[in-house]
Every structure is written in C-alpha cells, then in structure tokens.
Amino acid sequence: MTVAIVGVGYTDVRSTTPDVSFKESMFEAAVKAYEDAGVNPRKDIGSFITAAEDYYEGYSIFDEFVPDQLGAVLRPVCTVGGDGLLGLITGAMQIETGVFDVVAVEAHSKASDILTLENIMTFAFDPVYNRAFDAHPFFVAGLEMRRFMHETKTSREQCAEVVVKNRRNAIDNPAAVYPAKITVDDVLNSEVIAEPLTRSDVSQMADGTYVIVLASEKKAKKLSDKPIWMKGLGWCSDTPWLESREWGSTVYTHLAKERAYKMAGITNPRKQIDFAEVDDWFSYKELQHIAALGLCEKRKAGKLLQKGSFNRDGQTPVNVSGGRFGVGNLLEASALQSVLECVLQLRSEAGKRQIKDATTAVAQSWRGVPTGTGCVAVLSNEL
Amino acid sequence: MSFEKIRDPRRVRHWKGDMECDYIYTAGIAGEKFFTTIRDKAKLLATRCAKCKITYLPPRIYCERCQASLDNWIEVPKTGTIETFTTVHMDNNGAPLSKPITLAFIRIDETDGGLIHEIGGTKPEALKIGMRVEAVFQSKSKRTGALTDIKYFKPV
C-alpha cells in the first residue's frame, strides 16, 4: 500500500498576523484542505495530527488546543513534537496500520507572537554544558558553518549564493513574504551575528498554516484525480550531544535519505529526482542538505550552486518555492511548505514557477539549532 | 465589508503573557563526577566504551552506540585541538554584545568528544582550525563545580 496526499490547504504567509489567532488560521487552512480533498472532517477523516512545539506556541500541553478548529473534537487527535514532515510521516503510518483511511496533518507558525525567540532557542540547549555563555544561540550555526566551509572548501560567497537564489525564486511565488533581488555582497555586508554567519545568512520569520489530507491507496483513487504518492519516507536523529557530533555535515539527513530512497527505489538521485525542497534555515544548511541528499558529488554543492545547477532551470532545481529565505521561516511548518511546493509542482499547479514534466520530488526538513533531527520524503505523481 | 476592516492595528487586542519557567537541572552520576573532579583537582574525566572504542567527554554512564553501561573512568589531558570556532557579536537576547565573545569546539586529546568553550589569551584573528589549545582553570577558591571553572582555553 502507498499513502497519497489528496488535499492541501494553506493560509497566506505573512510577516505578521495581528488580526487572526492561530486557531483561526488553522481553521482557514483546514477548510481549504478538506474542500481540496473533497472530504467532510466530521465523517470522513479518521485521525488528526498536528506538529507543534509547546514553547513556540506559548502553551503548555499544546495538544489540547488543536481539536476544535480542525473539526477534530471527540475524535482521535495527537500532536507530534517535531516538524511538519514528521507529522506527515506519522499520518502515513497511521494509514498503513489499516485503522484509518483518511488522516489530516497540520503545522503552523505564529512566530510574530513570540517576543523572546532567542530565549526559547537557548532553552533548547543542554543546561549544564551549553548554556554557560551570554552568546546568541546561533553561535552553534557559526561553528557549524565554519567547519563545513573548511571541510568542503566552500567559499563564503557560495553560501551567500543560496540566499540570492532562494529570495529570487520567491519572486514568482505569490505566497512568499521575502522575495528580493539581492546580491552576494548584500549578504556578506550585513551585520555579523556569529562569524562567518551574518544576519542575511539567517532566514526571517513569518506566520503561516498548512493542512494536508492523506488517504490510503484505495481511498485516494476515489477521492483525487491527481493524488501525490508518498513513495519513500525516512527520519533520523543524531546524538543530542553537540560534543559528539560531526560539525561539518548532516548525518541525520544522510541516514533519513538512505531509508527514504530505499523505500522509493531511488538508486541514482541525480537522475531520478526532478527537483527538491530542502531546509534552508541558514545559507550553509541548504548546501549541507543538498550534499546529504546525494544531489551532487560530496563537497561540490557550493560550487555547483554557484554555477546554477540548482536554479529553476538547472540540473536539479532546489527550493523553487523560495524556501525559508524566500517564503519565510515558519518554524515547524516550513517542512509542510516544502511538501506543499512539491504537491503543487507535481500537480502542475505551480503557475509561473512550474517545472516542466516533473514526476518525482524530494522534501527534506531540519528543526534548527541545536537539533540534529530531520526527515526526508520522496513524492511522486506516479504510483 | 470595508467598515468592518481593521483600520488601526493598534486597536487589535492582544494579551501579553509570560511563561515563567524555573528549573533545577540534575547533573547526574556522570556530570557530578566530572564537575567535582574539575572543582577539586582541575582535571578532566572521561568514560570509555572498550567495545566501541569511543571515549566520551562529557562523560556518560552509558555508550550511545551499543547501549552498554560504562564505568571505565579515565583521566584525559586538558589539551585539545580547535575543530571550529566563531566570534559571536550578539547576546542571548539578540542585543549587540559590547565585547564579542569567541567560542570554539575543542576536541579534547585522547577522547572522541570535547567541549564548547571560550577562547582567551589570543586575538580572534590569530585563530585557525587545527590550532592546539589547553584549558585554563579558575583558581581553586573560585571553582564551584561548573563548566565555568574552566576560564577559557588558550593556545599552547
């Protein structure tokens, strides 16, 4: 059995949303997703999953605050403390059990409500070994970036090109908050946070909500003309000890990919994957993730990106949506923004930024510093 | 309907809330031994999994690769190699630091781990990946059994 995405619903992404509560945003995205899938949440959806992190939400036991706006009151509901892609994978597994044939998955960001994001991030660090310094939590990104550049001989300019590409890609995405034509110099000359990382190497926060409806193979064929099949799924956590990690690479993506590609029968990703949406919380991170997904030779991501291999018209387009840099950083929900872009492209509904004849895509997620956790999904419009 | 549109965003209602969270964090069996040894002897301890050939620093009482219990404690040198470093210009509230702080991950000799710590006794411009450094401890009377009992690492 293969699980399919049969409906997507989403709000506009905005830099701030003072007019609506997170519940109202979820309601809007849910109504749109159920309409897209042609399902009634009160009758047809067996289980509801949200991906959320209490501290980002400002609630303890946030799971309790999700059922009503999703149409999930008095129904099976759970929250996974992970990114949206982990929620989606959890939904697919619930369908695989045979207990449910339709599952809804939600993730959102109301980042504009968070007044002390740095404090929340610092609170994610080991209290005994890693919280002793009065330094911005992105110091971990500075450490990773320098080591990555050292090991792969990637230049500072090549990292900056990621930002230039993704913000340029966002110009053709009506949902994006931060489209721009900027230059490598703009990135290099912006304020330094943790050398070599500048402010422009960090994606900017935004608000947005996504709901995705999944269905079993049998049900998907009934519900949808254009089901998008979840062909391969993988997720992985590296050791939480920063002291025991590899600083220059992302082993979590590498291992999650191995699992997902094996399941999907991907043996030559450069040939078989038509495009990718990868995590780009920081500039260098996209390059690490491209390499870990096997979309280029080891250590070559920066060089190839500079040459245009990952542009919309390149060998393997990466983050055609604009990614976190262009669309906006949606915390745990950016993973579903990646999935949404794959779905729109594979349905040939991506408008001006449509990639021609794409059949297979990969979506990859990461949860930000200091985590070593991420997911990979191979999606296709062919069963 | 336009007359219902929000014309003045200052009139949109918000409630400000605090999540006040105070905790004590338990160092645990391994952390207790590590930090009291730093405090009393100015020495670094690690644990070793002989089967996986991994020496853990910070020490743990279990091996994360084979799940074995570890009680093979060894003293390791206070020297190491800079694996990566960064000079941070912002504090943990996002405000500019009047005095930037240089942090590094130091791979401690004879271990597969290390410590993230401050670099002192040199200028940041002089730092390079691969540089050899050693821990500078606070004087005994100032040591409390915490990571800050190491003042910083300085080039050897």
Predicted pLDDT at B10: 76
Q: Tell me, what's the pLDDT at B20?
A: 84
Contact (CB, 8 A) for B87 and B75: no
Mean pLDDT of B41-67: 98
Predicted local distance difference test score (pLDDT) of residue A241? 97
Q: How far apart are CA A164 and CA A323, in angstroms?
A: 12
Cβ A329 vs Cβ A366: under 8 Å: no
Return the pLDDT at B7: 73
Q: Are A70 and A29 in contact (CB under 8 A)?
A: no
**Beta strand spans in chain A (E):** 3-10, 47-51, 77-80, 102-110, 192-194, 197-198, 207-215, 228-237, 275-277, 360-366, 373-380
Asked whether residue B64 is domain-assigned, the answer is: yes
Tell me the average pLDDT across A281-285.
Answer: 98
Query: B90-139 pLDDT, tens per residue?
Result: 999 999 999 999 999 999 999 999 999 999 999 999 999 999 999 999 99
Cβ–Cβ gap A18/B148 under 8 Å: no
| Band of residue B3 on the pLDDT scale cut at 50, 70, 90 | low
Residue type, B8: D
d(CA A220, CA A38): 11
Q: What pLDDT is attached to residue A298?
A: 87
- Domains located in chain A, CATH noted: 3-116+206-223 (3.40.47.10), 124-203+229-380 (3.40.47.10)
Average pLDDT of the segment spanning A314-340: 98
Looking at residue B113, which CATH number applies to its domain? 2.40.50.840
Range of the domain at B131: 25-155
Q: Which of A19, A112, A133 to mutate to test the interface with B (most CBs of B within 10 A)?
A: A133
Q: What is the mean pLDDT of residues A369-374?
A: 96
The answer to whether residues A111 and A54 touch, using CB atoms and an 8 Å cutoff, is no
pLDDT tens-digit map of A90-144: 999 999 999 999 999 999 999 999 999 999 999 999 999 999 999 999 999 999 9
| pLDDT the model gives residue B1 | 42
Q: Residue B57 and residue B73: Cα distance in Å, rounded? A: 11
Closest CB to A135: pick one of B19, B103, B146.
Answer: B103
Number of cross-chain residue pairs from A and B with Cβ atoms under 8 Å apart? 125
Q: Which of B9, B87, B114 sits opposite A243 (nearest CB)?
A: B114
**Structural domains counted in chain B:** 1
Q: Do B88 and A194 touch (CB under 8 A)?
A: yes
**Closest Cβ–Cβ partner in B93, B97, B112 for A119:** B93
Report the chain A residue with the minimal C-alpha distance to residue B35: A128
Q: How confident is the model at residue B38 (pLDDT cuts 50, 70, 90)?
A: very high
B88·A142 Cβ contact <8 A? yes
- Within 8 A by CB and 6+ apart from B144, the residues are B39
The answer to whether residue A327 scores a pLDDT higher than 80 is: yes
Strand order in the sheet with A207-215: A77-80, A47-51, A102-110, A207-215, A3-10, A228-237, A373-380, A360-366, A275-277
With a cut of 80, say whether residue B15 has pLDDT above it.
yes
A127's tokens: 């209290």
Residue A127 contacts B, CB cutoff 8 Å: yes
The reply to whether B75 touches chain A by the CB within 8 Å rule is no
Mutate which: B56, B70, B84, vs A, most A CBs within 10 A: B84
Three-class SS state of A344: helix
Q: Which residues of B touch A248 (CB under 8 A)?
A: 84
Return the exposure string of B110-146: e unless at least 16 CB atoms fall within 10 Å of the residue's CB, then b: ebbbbbbbbbeeeeeeebebebebbbbbbeeeebebe
Closest CA to B7 of A29, A85, A19: A19
| Interchain proximity A242–B94, CB inside 8 Å | no
ipTM surpassing 0.90: yes
The overall average pLDDT reported for chain A is 97
Q: Cβ contact (<8 Å) for A139 and B103?
A: yes
- Six token digits for residue A292: 């870990």
Mean pLDDT confidence for A195-214? 98
- Report chain B's mean pLDDT, rounded to a whole number: 94
Does residue B12 sit within a domain?
Answer: no
DSSP string, A236-305: EE--S-GGGS-SSS-HHHHHHHHHHHHHHT-S-HHHH--EEE---SBHHHHHHHHHHTTSS-TT-HHHHH
Residue B2 has pLDDT above 70, yes or no: no
Distance CA A98, CA B49 (A): 43
